[in-house]
A and B are shown apart, each in its own frame.
Chain A
């Protein structure tokens, strides 16, 4: 199956003297984390299916610097940013799509001041435009009528006011979208942001991801949909902690759509 994936790099496009329509920024999680790699592949399958001319940076991609910045290491962040911007600008990149809200936020909001100006989209926004333009169609209702709840990633929702694109996609699946008690701008963090992913939590009564998973389980979903590889990990762990992994799946929106298509 995977040998069918077409994943051209910017360098290859450049060698042919061509520009892709969009650069797919994979991100560190999407490149290295076993769970997140599945999301990456699902998204690529959709891009292939829709015949999108896209490219990745591959080995030329590096961490955006988001966790370093939020941990307080502005030096490291800016070093990463400037290096990445040099690469992106050398390829004259105009448009970027990414499945990671942290990469999305950093490149969209924090890179411009440092010389990196691009049109940046979250993969749910991008998929939405593909559907709207008829370049991609969702057929087959594998998820028809299923109860799906969406966990708003802080860095997509509150941080950038993107609330509707992922929900529109879920609705396109003819699934039953159920909202948690904290959703949209009142969404509760999964606990991974601000570099928390990379350290143990401070002492408390509970882990944040468990609290959030409890909120999700309250609405009795069959699937918890996520739009961020870090949220995905946190919610998956939460579901395991609640011993519900047999009843409730945690899936990225890209995976939902790819699965509905049996890609």
Chain B
């Protein structure tokens, strides 16, 4: 029976990690539903972007308060979790504070002391975050797309961190042996008196309890990620790596269209001849995007990475002037639809069965799409290199090239370009008239 805790621990650990791996696989499969794009170029620039933007959080700090608090929580959380290593070893082997056996007391004390300080810093930052969200009610957290789950999700993680940090400190404060060492209990020594008068066995019980809840909490947190915008703590890295490198104004040229245009313009091609064998595969079934499978896999990775921070939306000129468009909502819709498609595939044994729905209209309305000025403010604002504009553009392409469903004025503009080489109904032969006006 003495091994029971070790066995229970191992089971909890394996179950927690196993479930996480399962979800990661599903995540990868869903992202791969997107269309292939070549992102193998410019590796050094990509690594640099990842280091600067994801690791260095260079774009986070453009909003100094949020940026600073975020850096504290980020660094604190990562470093404190070194402690998890000790927890896992202790849990599996039934040891207690194995670090003390390996390190000199002073070194161990230094480490734990640093963790305790960070825990307090994280705790305070998280409280400030909570206040910004719920009391100051920063506008971008109270837009129409931020209801129910997206709203709770943001708070949940804050509560989570508060609890985890508290547990860590309580764990130390109730550890009589650790307190007796009087090394590294920089914060927990002030918490210890709260428990004075309790018997050693009660203290031990509380300490063990905190220890168990702490590790289970971390496993729950890990598995919560998949369902949450907090997936960004993992995906920010690949996402910034694969982020757009070209100038923001450069929109991709559809290759399939290039082929068709070349054919149309080539005087040597007989337009009525049957296409040579094998070429029919070159023409895509669809121009532009009406559902998530038509988007590139980078778009889909973007959707899973979105932190729903709303920096894009708060910079968007359309949104600022009360139009329906919100680039954050574009990303959230894409993720929601992708999840729905993923579940559909799961229930239909690996195959997607038409569910009569699509990203266009069922999630993203045409009104939203047509309100975009392609100004790239959203792309500039995003702290994790997400490009909502490319999704908007691909969906407009579908509307125009597949459905001929552009607003009338735009159709007029396009007819003018086709006929007169200008968006207005002027004659191309008058193009130099300004000279003599």
Q: Is B356 an interface residue (CB 8 A)?
A: no
From A31, A78, A186, A201, contact of B422 by CB (8 A):
A31
Q: Bits for B361-388, please: 1 = Cβ < 8 Å to A, else 0.
A: 0000001001111111101100000000
A198 touches B410 (CB 8 A): yes
From A56, A72, A199, contact of B432 by CB (8 A):
A56
Closest A-chain residue to B408, C-beta based?
Answer: A199
Q: Is B435 an interface residue (CB 8 A)?
A: yes
A83 to B417 Cα, complex, angstroms: 12
Q: Is A30 an interface residue (CB 8 A)?
A: yes
CB distance from A197 to the nearest CB of B (A): 8
Residue in A32, A108, A109, A212 with the greatest tally of chain B CB atoms within 10 Å: A32
Number of CB contacts from chain A to chain B under 8 A: 222
From A74, A108, A207, contact of B253 by CB (8 A):
A74
A252 to B323 Cα, complex, angstroms: 29
Main secondary structure of the interface of B (DSSP, over half): helix
Q: Is B95 an interface residue (CB 8 A)?
A: no
A159 touches B401 (CB 8 A): no
Contacts of B106 in A (CB 8 A): none
Q: Is B429 an interface residue (CB 8 A)?
A: yes
Residue in B322, B399, B410, B430 with the greatest tally of chain A CB atoms within 10 Å: B410
A188 touches B322 (CB 8 A): no
Known: A82-B261, A158-B377, A196-B373. A26 touches B431 (CB 8 A): yes
Q: Is B116 an interface residue (CB 8 A)?
A: no
Contacts of B260 in A (CB 8 A): 75
Known: A72-B399, A109-B246. A2 touches B417 (CB 8 A): no
CB distance from B283 to the nearest CB of A (A): 13
B410 touches A114 (CB 8 A): no
A105 to B376 Cα, complex, angstroms: 13
A62 touches B413 (CB 8 A): no
Residue in A75, A188, A202, A206 with the greatest tally of chain B CB atoms within 10 Å: A202
Closest B-chain residue to A197, C-beta based?
Answer: B423
A193 touches B407 (CB 8 A): no
Total A residues in contact with B, Cβ cutoff 8 Å: 74
A118 to B410 Cα, complex, angstroms: 29
Q: Bits for B257-284, please: 1 = Cβ < 8 Å to A, else 0.
A: 1101110110000000000000000000
Of B124-132, B170-178, B187-195, B313-321, the one touching chain A: B313-321
Q: Bits for B422-434, please: 1 = Cβ < 8 Å to A, else 0.
A: 1110101111111
Residue in B376, B398, B401 with the greatest tally of chain A CB atoms within 10 Å: B376
Total B residues in contact with A, Cβ cutoff 8 Å: 69
Of A63-71, A89-97, A141-149, A216-224, the one touching chain B: A63-71
Contacts of A31 in B (CB 8 A): 422, 426, 430-434
A109 touches B249 (CB 8 A): yes
Closest B-chain residue to A72, C-beta based?
Answer: B396
A63 touches B410 (CB 8 A): no
Question: Which of A's residues lie within 8 Å of B, judged by CB?
Answer: 2-3, 5, 7, 9, 26, 28, 30-33, 37, 40-41, 56, 58-59, 61-63, 65, 67-76, 78-80, 82-83, 105, 108-110, 113-114, 154-155, 158-161, 185-189, 191-208, 210-212
Question: Which of B's residues lie within 8 Å of A, judged by CB?
Answer: 246-251, 253-254, 257-258, 260-262, 264-265, 287-288, 315, 317-318, 320-325, 367, 370-377, 379-380, 393, 395-401, 406-407, 409-410, 412-414, 417-418, 421-424, 426, 428-437
18 A-B interface contacts by CB (under 8 A): A31-B431, A31-B434, A58-B432, A59-B431, A68-B417, A72-B399, A73-B414, A76-B414, A78-B253, A78-B258, A83-B265, A109-B247, A158-B376, A194-B374, A199-B413, A201-B323, A204-B371, A211-B317
For the complex of A and B, list the 4 residue pairs with the smallest distance between their C-beta atoms, beginning with the closest. A159-B249, A194-B374, A72-B396, A205-B322
Other than the given A61-B431, A62-B422, A158-B377, 17 more pairs (CB < 8 A) read: A3-B436, A31-B426, A32-B431, A37-B434, A61-B421, A63-B423, A65-B417, A70-B374, A78-B257, A109-B250, A110-B253, A154-B373, A198-B413, A202-B367, A202-B370, A203-B324, A210-B321
